[in-house]
Chain A
């Protein structure tokens, strides 16, 4: 109560500062006048009386200044003094400071780096205005177990005409193969996007030059136009006026009508050329999901409203665009709109939050380590603190000393940590970069800096609280410490308990992290064991070839004939490729999406002979391949035969199916050959001639799709595959290029990569999580070693005398070692037990990241427990050995 009052008075004095300041002048004037008056009465002249009074008073200004110091509540000055003092003390303990700061820097550094990624990708807005109103048109078909279907011209037309919640609807399509821009100079492969005129408007992209697409550009048959990216304008036109210029895109002359602003990026697609999609209403059918739709919702519309609106429109869609009589009941098509931001981030969000969480745990471990260091140091400084207390420093003053020091450590750790993050972030991005959406930029911005500061202060609180609580009851212990001055000061049971709790917590957290890493390793192994459906992918070179009409040199340009020409050219190219030295086999798959794991594919419904034909069935993956394609991939033939060139050139007679499709429809692969399927009720029946092994098309962790394989058909773009021992050796690719040119000199290879790259890429996210988790796990283990080493070391120092006596009484040195190793093992054991419990609860959170392994995988848990026990034993052995090597005579004399 008294203290409270004092505090209040001090506070009031602070408020009354001006009053005091003014009062002081008056008070001193009064004083001097009184003295002058007295002097005058004693007989001095008035002048002399005043002079004497002033002399008697001394320096008026000096007195004022000293008085002011009394009421200037010196909080700020005091704090700065504490900081200076703390800084000096820390510099006098360079070893302690270095270890503490670098531990913190490590923790804060990785936290900052990871948070920059999280901030850049998950927290920051997309670079499109009013992103909250932007949604992607996504549908689901729970009846077929399909969670994600996109959009198509039919959906675009239906929603554009009937929606009540969308301000604007647009459709776009990304062609993963580049278009060929010809004209003066070398033919150029350019990445392009087809858009309806609404898309750029929805994304808020104003043309930097010229204009955006309008409705007229979207009408089939209107003059072909194009808008180019800022970068392409610079590259192609060197900044000259591009408007009105003509680009020949895949043989079609297009007029450039606009240039996009430099800052504009179209999601993660590096597109340089945009041209109108021009969907044709009369050709639009449902179901089809071969494009992507985005919409801007009207002001005030929620995602739920929009979903309800789409649900209302689906019946309109089916009556307007579906084949008459088609039955959609089984599919149960429904809306599953998604905010654009979620679309861009996708499942990456889960991964990033998981990694952020694990790195947060690492930071806590680092703090526990530093807390232990500070605790030991406070211990060593007990005599000093006790003397301070005896000289009248209150608990608050001592706590301030400890806290200021901790804060300095925390801030230094934060500053160095920022440097660590600055260096580490590019490294992190180079590991994960391929998997991150490019539309978002990851940098250390102001938010990150603020969070780093916050984390540093939070970390300070975390590791300062233990020693602070520890000095909180100064009476008893400080007196004891004072008595113990000169001897090794110890803090008795309370100190040990604090240290033990810290070490146990550390071990438990490390267990959680290591179990996480262990599960990722198991996941990675499981993925490696998945049979992708092809073998030795590193030996397969793949590339895409686009054959525009313009390239086909032929007098006769009639449609049928150009198709045939194209197919003949592709056939010829396969032959030339197969003739290159060292090539075992070659083939191609029509279109640009025919390769496994290329992140793209096409699907269609098929009808099986003997089943009712009026029901819409789940779409099957479809693929169009040349002879030699499966042979090149080494995808085994399970039953029947593969295609030959006759199948290709005759066309439309036979198909192959994947093993899982054969099983689903006819119960066994062997039963499939001879059965018949067709694509629409009106198309001819096709005979199944062969069955191939399942191939994973969408990633190893997803089940292999059921596939219908048709003989290759003519397509502008085709994906070629070549198997050879020479893949990746210098000159090989050049020989392949020459082989292509020997068939036609106007073609350029695009998307050149090996199937091995695609295979690795499909595991990139798992691999990124694995690496990051392994790194954090490793760091956690290291910090644990340090922590256990420190605690056992302290225990050895504390018990020197006891050890000396034991040794003097004839204890075996082995026995002494065992005491300390056992001590460490008991602590680690408790930590491991608690950690396993925590891991059991927490690893469930990462279930979505795992594949082929139970979150409670016993081998992983056992391995982690053993690893930590071994680490604890190892960390304890050094100090234990030191203890057993003590010379009893020296120890006992020293006391």
Chain B
């Protein structure tokens, strides 16, 4: 199965989370997610840019061209107010969901049965 499909919903959330603290360019976002996830999550680059453009179209992030520390031009993405709200909603839901899944997966067999 295509990995991007599985991660469709999560990818958006990760990207939004990555740019929550400060505006970042595309490569920076990949690096940060990799770093934060202790190199478990390696973003397929082929999916990052479509996601960025989609999120921008949906008004969740905005972009502008800036100059990097070593004097290169790059497109920086930052979170919009709508994006912030969206991210919070998604996070709440994700936490509920992952808690629920964890509960199921780690449940002990208390009362017998197969």
Using CB atoms and an 8 Å cutoff, list the residues of chain A in contact with chain B: 2, 5-6, 9-10, 13, 20, 23-24, 26-28, 30-31, 33-35, 56-59, 62-64, 66-67, 69-71
* Given contact pairs A6-B58, A27-B75, A35-B27, A59 touches B46 in the complex (Cβ within 8 A): yes
Chain A nearest Cβ from B47, distance in angstroms: 7
Interfacial chain A residues near B47, Cβ < 8 Å:
63, 66
Interfacial chain B residues near A70, Cβ < 8 Å:
50, 53-54, 57
Q: Are B82 and A66 in contact (CB under 8 A)?
A: no
Interfacial chain B residues near A6, Cβ < 8 Å:
58-59
* Given contact pairs A31-B26, A35-B27, A56 touches B50 in the complex (Cβ within 8 A): no
Q: For chains A and B in complex, what number of residue pairs have CB atoms within 8 angstroms?
A: 66
Tell me the residues in window 39-69 of chain B with beta carbons closer than 8 Å to chain A beta carbons. Answer: 44-50, 52-54, 56-59, 65
**Nearest-neighbor residue (CB-CB) of B54 within chain A:** A70
Interfacial chain B residues near A20, Cβ < 8 Å:
53
Q: Are A28 and B57 in contact (CB under 8 A)?
A: no
Q: List 12 A-B contacts (CB under 8 A).
A: A13-B57, A20-B53, A26-B73, A27-B49, A27-B75, A30-B25, A31-B26, A31-B27, A57-B45, A63-B47, A67-B50, A70-B57
For the complex, give the distance between the alpha carbons of A31 and B75 in Å.
Answer: 10
Any chain A CB within 8 A of the CB of B89?
A: no
Q: A27-B75, A30-B25, A69-B50 are in contact. List 5 more A-B contacts (CB 8 A).
A: A10-B57, A28-B49, A30-B74, A62-B46, A63-B45
Interfacial chain B residues near A56, Cβ < 8 Å:
45
For the complex, give the distance between the alpha carbons of A271 and B59 in Å.
Answer: 76
**Nearest-neighbor residue (CB-CB) of B48 within chain A:** A63
For the complex, give the distance between the alpha carbons of A10 and B59 in Å.
Answer: 8
Chain B nearest Cβ from A27, distance in angstroms: 5
Any chain A CB within 8 A of the CB of B95?
A: no
Chain A nearest Cβ from B67, distance in angstroms: 12
**Nearest-neighbor residue (CB-CB) of A6 within chain B:** B59
For the complex, give the distance between the alpha carbons of A27 and B53 in Å.
Answer: 12
Listed residue (B52, B56, B57, B73) with the most chain A CB atoms within 10 angstroms of its CB: B57
**Nearest-neighbor residue (CB-CB) of B45 within chain A:** A57
For the complex, give the distance between the alpha carbons of A401 and B50 in Å.
Answer: 27
* Given contact pairs A26-B73, A27-B74, A67-B50, A5 touches B59 in the complex (Cβ within 8 A): yes
Q: Are B46 and A23 in contact (CB under 8 A)?
A: no
For the complex, give the distance between the alpha carbons of A66 and B72 in Å.
Answer: 25
Pick the contact of A13: B30, B48, B52, B56 (CB < 8 A): B56
For the complex, give the distance between the alpha carbons of A346 and B13 in Å.
Answer: 76
For the complex, give the distance between the alpha carbons of A766 and B49 in Å.
Answer: 74
For the complex, give the distance between the alpha carbons of A394 and B54 in Å.
Answer: 18
Listed residue (B27, B57, B82) with the most chain A CB atoms within 10 angstroms of its CB: B27
For the complex, give the distance between the alpha carbons of A372 and B103 in Å.
Answer: 53
Interfacial chain B residues near A62, Cβ < 8 Å:
46
For the complex, give the distance between the alpha carbons of A542 and B99 in Å.
Answer: 105
Q: Are A27 and B26 in contact (CB under 8 A)?
A: yes
Q: Are A67 and B45 in contact (CB under 8 A)?
A: no
Q: Are B72 and A9 in contact (CB under 8 A)?
A: no
Q: Are B45 and A58 in contact (CB under 8 A)?
A: yes
Tell me the residues in window 1-57 of chain B with beta carbons closer than 8 Å to chain A beta carbons. Answer: 25-27, 30, 44-50, 52-54, 56-57
